[in-house]
Amino acid sequence: MSRAVVFGCSGLTLTEEERRFFTEADPFGFILFARNIDTPDQVRRLVDDMKSCVSNTAPPVLIDQEGGRVRRLRPPHWRDYAAPGVFADAYAADPEAAIEALTLSAWLMADDLFRLGIDVDCVPMLDVAQSDADPQVIGDRALGGDVATVVRLGAAMLDGVERAGVCGVMKHLPGHGRSVVDSHADLPRVTASRDTLDAVDFEAFRAFSDRLPMGMTGHLLFEAIDSEAPSTLSPVVVEQTIRRSIGFDGLLFTDDISMGALGGAVGERCRLAIDAGCDIALHCNGKMAEMQEICGEVGDLGPGAAARADRAATVRERLKADRQSPEPGEADRLGGILASMAA
């Protein structure tokens, strides 16, 4: 049984220490960042090397490839994909063109991933952007500022990702659209009422609760729900809001457990997150000392998490089997749609 954690690594190749550690720790899967990306051949070798270290015959390899600010694969080896906000802006003027363009963009973007052995993209981001939030936190990463737009564009993005044989992860449960500080550095406090959160922030996720087999928390403190604990570490938020109110019964990852929004030692954070009801702790920075500490606190997947992981694996395999490769002219077609939308 795999350990309930996803790890990153430090560079473009696994060090001997990392290879030995991953073999012994046996994490559920891995995640890649820009520091791990150089050329297509290098990424394929790294992915294959990571997979060979663990007992799971098909460990998921995750990446954040949203387009715009958050994309790990970049030119010159990969296309330069537009931010989700570009499609949200276009949707107001021409909804059908925006949907067509976003679906195609997501298809091409996920096809890049599939060809590297990366089968999980941490999209769609279903946070409903609010006008008084810090634009540098969510901003043009958002698919819109109202529930209906986010849901429709989220579905379009997911359609494209799945067409390429890649599985999505909805984030950041139960909603990051009101953040006025960056959770990488500090803990955002959300003061909106429960009724407002329920009608806006949570509603966007409900539309996908039965479709997506994987989700990711955000590190925020919702004063109307749990005034003491950040959402990732809060049994109230995880069990009552994410699981019951939103209705998400899929495999639940934490956001990066090493982010500045969370206090305490990194191993303790992981233990508290699992105790709160998260299934898998996500640790991204590749720091060996922190990964070793986490292994002292986090054991194998629990029975419920293992069942959810099995369901997610079935979806991943189905998507691979049903995969459609884009035709060579699809990139030009996307360019034409984007140009017409900007005109």
The tokens describing 107, both together, are: 């298809």
| Count of CA atoms in the C-beta half-sphere (13 A) of 86 | 21
pLDDT value, residue 188? 92
pLDDT value, residue 180? 84
pLDDT value, residue 189? 95
Is the per-residue pLDDT at 326 higher than 90? yes
pLDDT-derived band at 231 (thresholds 50, 70, 90) equals very high
Q: Which of 147, 134, 145 is nearest to 202 (CA)?
A: 147
Residue 1 CB partners (closer than 8 Å, separation 6+)? 300, 301, 306
Burial of 221 (0-12, 13-18, 19+ CB in 10 A): buried
- pLDDT tens by residue, 131-145: 888 788 899 999 999
Query: Which residue has 């087999």 as its token pair?
Result: 213
CA pair distance 205, 55, nearest whole angstrom? 33
CA pair distance 91, 110, nearest whole angstrom? 22
Containing H/E element for 152?
A: helix 147-163
CA pair distance 30, 20, nearest whole angstrom? 15
Q: Are strands 251-256 and 280-283 parallel, antiparallel or unpaired?
A: parallel
Q: Which of 279, 276, 332, 285 is nearest to 305 (CA)?
A: 279
pLDDT value, residue 343? 75
pLDDT value, residue 342? 81
pLDDT value, residue 136? 80
pLDDT-derived band at 60 (thresholds 50, 70, 90) equals very high
- pLDDT tens by residue, 14-44: 999 999 999 999 999 999 999 999 999 999 9
pLDDT value, residue 151? 98
- pLDDT tens by residue, 251-289: 999 999 999 999 999 999 999 999 999 999 999 999 999
CB-based contact 172:215 (threshold 8 Å): no
pLDDT value, residue 14? 98
pLDDT value, residue 185? 82
Burial of 97 (0-12, 13-18, 19+ CB in 10 A): middle
Residue 131 CB partners (closer than 8 Å, separation 6+)? 145
CB-based contact 169:120 (threshold 8 Å): yes
CA pair distance 126, 172, nearest whole angstrom? 7
Positions marked active-site: 184, 255
Mean pLDDT, the chain, whole residue set: 96
Q: Which of 252, 238, 180, 171 is nearest to 204 (CA)?
A: 171
State pTM to two decimals: 0.96
CA pair distance 278, 275, nearest whole angstrom? 7
Residue 335 CB partners (closer than 8 Å, separation 6+)? none
- pLDDT tens by residue, 137-193: 899 999 999 999 999 999 999 999 999 999 999 999 999 999 888 788 889 999 999
